[in-house]
Structure 1
Amino acid sequence: MSDTLATSVPQTQKAWLAIRRGEPSYALRLDNNVPVSSKLENGEVLVKVQAAALNPVDHKKLKLLPTVFSGRPHVISHDFAGIVLASSDSKIKQGDEVFGTILPNFQNRTHQGALSQFARAPTKTVALRPMNITPTQAAGLAVVCLTAYNALFDVAKLEPGQSLFVSGGSTAVGIAAIQLAKAIGCKVTATASGKNEELVKSLGTDVFIDYTKGPVHETLEHNAPTPKFHVILEAAGILALPLWTHSEAYLTPGGTFVSVGPQPDGAGEIPILIRYIWEAFIRPTWLGGVKRKWRLCHPQEKQEQLEHIAKLISEGKFKSVVDSVYDFDDALKAFEHVMTKRARGKVIVKVDPSAD
């Protein structure tokens, strides 16, 4: 960081810290004296955060992970949009307007997070913000897009012209997955509640299924697509075991069932996760195991994937869907809204009051 820049950045900042295990209202604290991490290693940037986004995994980790495994205290949240104040990477420069994320491995090592006035981040998970969207529209893109990209292309090897089924089409990951698949010419079938049908169809979904009208696996068994789906993406992080165990009826041989997470809300879902692992990796088919591949997906540190998303946005082929925007001091209210599971798109916290 240059001497001129160093004098323009304060030594401390306001940030939301995860200090203990529990619900956000108990486990988070707004601290006015959090040090600004201005010393950069190679391949890092310091960003003045304009807006940050919340992900369901944020509050689930707060409730489930003991402090010894979580690196607490640390700044909460992962996704952000902002302006680069300093960079040790020639690809991202001072003054660039960017969006990106701080993934858990970096967060655990550095105690950095997005819900702060300034954030240090690796450039591998940062890209230039397309100028046709605002910081609040860009803030929630990185994790969900990297997750959807990993699920569809790195894990499931989805190809142009194939057929994709998305369970949870109105979730943030589902919204990203539908658009990524349509961008390469795939046919997409997606589920959501009836109130979200218009949103899901507006993303390019070819066939919509209202999951509130009956078990989705039964609907698919009675109306199996021709040809069968090449990829099924469980985008909500919900352990929907029947959708997997009945998938031979509607998932093509050699097809892949990909699950986001899964992210159990509590001990009640752990036995279902164990059954998933048993069915997918242990139980042989001659004992009734499912003759289809089940895989987990996670976001990867791949800058080129974020750059591809930015290109699609610039070309009008991908849109950011924002559910709601909260002020920085009201972050706990934002978490409460995320925990209702009713958000359609991303819940954003405006860190800089002047940000669009």
Structure 2
Amino acid sequence: MAEKILSNKDPKLEAMTVDHKVPAPKEITVDEPTLTRVARPLRHVRHIPVKSLVFHSKNGPLTFSYENKIKLPINKNKLVVQVNYAGLNPVDMKIKNGYTKPLYGEAGIGREYSGVVTHVGDNLKDIWSIGDDVYGIYYHPRLAVGTLQSSVLIDPRVDPILMRPEHTLSPEKAAGSLFCLGTAFNILAQLKEKGQLDVESNVLINGGTSSVGMFAIQLLKRYYKLSKKLVVVTSGNGSAVLSEHFGDLKDQMIFINYLSCRGKSSKPLRNMLETGKVVDYNDFNTLKETEYYTQGKFNVVLDFIGGYDILSHSSSLIHTKGAYITTVGDYVGNYKKDVFDSWDNPSANARKMFGSMLWSYDYAHFYFDPNIKIISKKNDWIHECGKLLNEGVVDCIVCQVYSWKDLKEAFSYMATQRAQGKIIIKVEGF
């Protein structure tokens, strides 16, 4: 069929052209497409409002700030904890003393807390839940953020945090437990690892009513089961306070009154070793009571007060191959002047560098950094301390609980260095 049609086509038609009278339409010009930048619509950024206690300089006042906000959604590996109570520590005063001028903006205060989880990152929802009662440490002294704020952003990979057992640990005690207990636990764990601590060790504690000292007493007698009496240097009514709180241990301690010997505790200590009698002075000259002492020199000296008095008589007080551990240094601690991470004096540096090459005992200035990545590689101190608190092996002794409105009174009392236990601040909601 197609062949028939093609065979009948007219050749003339193929050559025919048609002229149109109307001109062809003009070509429509089109601009080249270009991209132009336009304003984005405003977006509502969600956040958690935070009320923080901050300072700007050493001598400046403590004030409230609302500048630090926690953006939502939070990081998938983090938690938000609403802080209910926060514990104060000497390191808080030392950090504040380092801000000599108001050049660095506002800085927070507080290193430990107890509270309730309010937000959970996606990667942590199998471990933590909203509403969990928790307590822990937020130790970032160079980030200018503290725990004395209504909410804090926690990274459990770095920041020690535990569930709070409601029936055995109150939120007030939980807020003051982990930092000082962790300090004492890690000091003793290192001594044990080095073979310098066992059940027969003779231990002297300088500063028995300090929070670290109180935890050390409990750990030595209840956890390490030391058979010998602990010799405890304390001041004022410290012996009565320790005997009251640790009734089961009061007969396992020998007390030296720091004030009665005018700060020179080495004198009654040396007299005790030389005469074999324990002397408790009422006013430095008047003998109050005596008992026999047969334990000899000390294997371990734990110093939570500072000073050079005991060190200056170390040859007559400390056993060969013994250990002297201080958390303060060669100068008596002064919360009004001491600065965080300051240099030790030359003699202390020499003892640390040359150790038993020049002295018959080991010397260490212990700094506690609770960063999980640093310490937990050596021991699981966090969960072990939680277990000890939960089982009642150790107890946090709370000296005073203050509300936010009494902040000045709380910090003034802390600066006196007379607290016998923890100072706790009750944090108000936003």
- TM-score normalised by the chain length of structure 2: 0.69
3-state SS of the aligned residue for 2:345? helix
Query: Could you say which residue in structure 1 is the equivalent of 2:108?
Result: 75
1:241 aligns with 2:308: yes
Residue by residue over 1:315-339, the C-alpha shift from the partner in whole angstroms, topping out at 9 and shown as x without a partner, is: 2221111111111232222111100
Richer in strand (by share): 1
| In structure 2, distance between residues paired with 1:197 and 1:30 | 39
Give 1:227 shift: 4.7
- Does structure 1 retain, via aligned residues, the 8 Å contact 2:87–2:424? yes
Give 1:13 shift: 1.8
Alignment map for 1:245-324 (pairs within 5 Å): 245-262=312-329, 265=335, 266=337, 273-281=345-353, 289-299=358-368, 300-302=370-372, 304-324=380-400
Alignment map for 1:182-197 (pairs within 5 Å): 182=221, 183-186=223-226, 187=228, 188-197=230-239
| In structure 2, distance between residues paired with 1:327 and 1:43 | 32
1:54 aligns with 2:88: yes
Distance 1:228 1:82, change over 3 A: same
- Does structure 2 retain, via aligned residues, the 8 Å contact 1:241–1:276? no
1:150 aligns with 2:197: no
- Does structure 2 retain, via aligned residues, the 8 Å contact 1:150–1:297? no
Alignment map for 1:122-133 (pairs within 5 Å): 122-123=155-156, 124-131=159-166, 132-133=168-169
Identity of aligned residues (%): 21
Richer in helix (by share): 1
User: Relative to structure 2, which stretch is displaced further, 122-131 or 334-343?
Assistant: 122-131
Distance 1:165 1:75, change over 3 A: same
- Does structure 2 retain, via aligned residues, the 8 Å contact 1:85–1:95? yes
Distance 1:52 1:213, change over 3 A: same
Give 1:222 shift: 2.2
Query: Could you say which residue in structure 2 is the equivalent of 1:327?
Result: 403
- Does structure 1 retain, via aligned residues, the 8 Å contact 2:207–2:234? yes
Distance 1:333 1:27, change over 3 A: same
Structure 1: state its 5+ residue gaps: 1-8
Residue by residue over 1:293-327, the C-alpha shift from the partner in whole angstroms, topping out at 9 and shown as x without a partner, is: 11011223347323222222222221111111111
Distance 1:267 1:93, change over 3 A: closer
- Does structure 2 retain, via aligned residues, the 8 Å contact 1:27–1:62? no
Give 1:165 shift: 1.4
For residue 117 of structure 1, what is the amino acid of its counterpart?
S
Distance 1:92 1:216, change over 3 A: farther
| In structure 2, distance between residues paired with 1:213 and 1:28 | 36
1:179 aligns with 2:255: no
Q: Considering only aligned residues, what root-mean-square deviation do their CA atoms show, in Å? A: 3.0
Distance 1:310 1:279, change over 3 A: closer
| In structure 2, distance between residues paired with 1:76 and 1:276 | 29
For residue 223 of structure 1, what is the amino acid of its counterpart?
M
Largest Rg, 1 or 2 = 2
Query: Could you say which residue in structure 1 is the equivalent of 2:139?
Result: 103
| In structure 1, distance between residues paired with 2:345 and 2:192 | 20
Query: Could you say which residue in structure 2 is the equivalent of 1:5?
Result: none
- Does structure 1 retain, via aligned residues, the 8 Å contact 2:231–2:255? yes
| In structure 1, distance between residues paired with 2:138 and 2:338 | 27
- Does structure 2 retain, via aligned residues, the 8 Å contact 1:52–1:349? yes
| In structure 2, distance between residues paired with 1:146 and 1:39 | 32
Give 1:271 shift: 9.7
- Does structure 1 retain, via aligned residues, the 8 Å contact 2:56–2:104? no
Give 1:193 shift: 1.4
- Does structure 2 retain, via aligned residues, the 8 Å contact 1:100–1:125? yes
Distance 1:216 1:12, change over 3 A: same
For residue 339 of structure 1, what is the amino acid of its counterpart?
A
3-state SS of the aligned residue for 1:46? strand
For residue 298 of structure 2, the aligned residue among 229, 243, 258 is 229
Structure 2: state its 5+ residue gaps: 1-45, 274-293
- TM-score normalised by the chain length of structure 1: 0.82
Distance 1:271 1:305, change over 3 A: closer
User: Relative to structure 2, which stretch is displaced further, 36-45 or 70-79?
Assistant: 36-45
3-state SS of the aligned residue for 2:165? coil
User: Relative to structure 2, which stretch is displaced further, 132-141 or 307-316?
Assistant: 307-316
User: Relative to structure 2, which stretch is displaced further, 301-310 or 38-47?
Assistant: 38-47
- Does structure 2 retain, via aligned residues, the 8 Å contact 1:230–1:252? yes
3-state SS of the aligned residue for 1:13? coil
3-state SS of the aligned residue for 1:223? helix
- Does structure 2 retain, via aligned residues, the 8 Å contact 1:280–1:290? no
For residue 154 of structure 1, what is the amino acid of its counterpart?
Q
For residue 134 of structure 1, what is the amino acid of its counterpart?
S
Distance 1:194 1:295, change over 3 A: same
For residue 256 of structure 2, the aligned residue among 167, 186, 209 is 209
